[in-house]
Amino acid sequence: MSLNPADPAFGLKPVAPLSITARLAVLYTASTYVMLLATTAFLYLVVMSGLEQDDVYFLVDKVHRVEWALQHHPDDLSFLDHEVKWEGGPKDFEAVHSFYSRILDDQGQLLIETPGMAKVIPSARFGSPVDPELSSRSEMMQRWRSPEGRNFCLLSVRARDGQIGQSWVIQVALDDPGEEVTIDNVRRLTFVALLLGTLFSAGLGTFVARRGMKPLREIALTAERITANQLKERVDTTRQPKELALLATALNRMLGRLEDSFVRMSQFAEDVAHELRTPIHNMMGEAEVTLATERRPEEYRRILESSLEEFHRLSRMITEMLFLARAENPQQQIERVRLDARREIEAVREFFDALTESHDVKIVAKGQGYIDGDPILFRRAITNLLSNALRHTPMGGQIVLAVERVDEGAILVEVSDSGCGITPEHVPRVCDRLYCADRTNTQLSEHTGLGLSIVKSIVELHGGSIAIESALGKGTTVQMRFPAATTTVA
């Protein structure tokens, strides 16, 4: 069993995740910090490299002057003394540079040096002399910190005079107190710039993140204003950035579907209340009239038979509404087998033979095709359509059941009658629940108004679609389109 400190059993509340605004601000600040750190580090290295190159330049230049003096005035000690002491010796703190120079012969004996140099920088600190022709400038110089805390740049070079065959060791030291101050200032300014830049980026990142999240807050405020009585509210997609425009459009479409479903549900509740109230009121009225006076047994029997018919109608309506409710469940699954649509239609037609003879209506079946579907549901859809067509087809009329293979292997099942037809304004709604657009302008109270709704749900459960075409005085055609069959015959 794993232990989680944030589990409620420990009495600790889980830490809430950071908001998107906070995350964006942190990421912006972190990225800016890394960029500033890399930039300041690069600039610092450039400054330090420049200072070091300047030190090497000053030392090499001093060595060249001393070397020139040795090569051209080797015996003129006063000239050498002047060259060694020029810009040499300890100076006050404000001095820009302090040079110390020392000249040794090829035996290591001191010839001349800057006064006081032996106490400040012993000769042993310089190490072995280098050959300037074989060494790079960065390899020549070395740094040394004296016990007093002073920093020196040291350079020891072997100089030769080819004409007289003599060589010397020139030791030059540079004491630059201003360089330390410069380095300290650079470090301090670098730190301050990094700190201020990070703080500024944190503030700017927070501002930018809040501005960037403003469209989301507007969407949230719009969603807060949506209630059951305010379903017409929509998000203004024209004010949203491209990344959120798709979200706003999808949200508006969802709100449209919710509004349509809410309106349909409200209308359905009203229709159900109306449909249930009528038979209940009929039975209540009959019961009250019956109980008002004494009746003969045959009258009570007639009242009970009438009430039983209403009970059957109510039971049928409830059963059909339960079927529709289950059919609209996204998890509803049906068992699919390969069906011969023509054979299923013939089976339903034979069941209606006696009824069609009494109505003097002819039923014709034609075509051939296979679908993947539930045989019970498919027969129920055909039964509902055929029953509906028989109610509205006059004597001597004809009903055609056709199966046709259309594009991409889809199967089109049509039920056409030669009845009175439906007025154009009612055609779009005839598949709505409890909607009865009577084509003969006579109220058919014995029907629930759910037949076509059930047919539509059955077709949609099979992944198909339904379409209705009708013309007054000519008849109605209901088309059920089913996807192409993919299962094989068992």
Q: Give the CA count within 13 Å in the CB-facing half-sphere of 451.
A: 17
Phi-psi region of 135 (alpha: psi -120 to 50; beta: other; left: phi over 0): beta
Name 101's bridge partners: 172
Instruction: Copy the structure tokens of residue 322.
Output: 């339960």
In order of their start, the domains of the chain are: 22-185 (3.30.450.20), 237-327 (1.10.287), 337-482 (3.30.565.10)
Strands 151-161 and 142-145 turn out to be: antiparallel
Q: Which residue has the higher pLDDT, 482 or 235?
A: 482
Q: For residue range 225-277, what is the model confidence (pLDDT) as tens digits? A: 777 777 777 877 777 777 778 888 888 888 888 887 777 777 667 766 766 77
Q: For residue range 92-114, what is the model confidence (pLDDT) as tens digits? A: 434 445 778 888 887 778 888 88
- DSSP states of 262-311 as a string? HHHHHHHHHHHHHHHHHHHHHHHHHHHHHHHS---HHHHHHHHHHHHHHH
Q: What is the structure's pLDDT at 271? A: 63
Q: What is the structure's pLDDT at 332? A: 59
pTM for the whole thing? 0.46
Q: What is the structure's pLDDT at 275? A: 65
User: Could you give the CA distance from residue 46 to residue 66 in angstroms, rounded to a whole number?
Assistant: 30
Q: Is 465:398 a contact under the CB 8 Å cutoff?
A: no
Instruction: Copy the structure tokens of residue 276.
Output: 């249930």
Q: For residue range 285-306, what is the model confidence (pLDDT) as tens digits? A: 878 877 888 878 887 888 788 7
98 Cβ partners below 8 Å, 6+ apart? 87, 88, 89, 90, 91, 174, 175, 176, 177
Q: For residue range 328-359, what is the model confidence (pLDDT) as tens digits? A: 654 556 778 888 989 998 888 888 887 777 77
Q: What is the structure's pLDDT at 94? A: 40
Q: What is the structure's pLDDT at 357? A: 79
Region of poorest pLDDT, from 194-208, 269-283, 320-334, 403-417: 320-334
DSSP 15: P
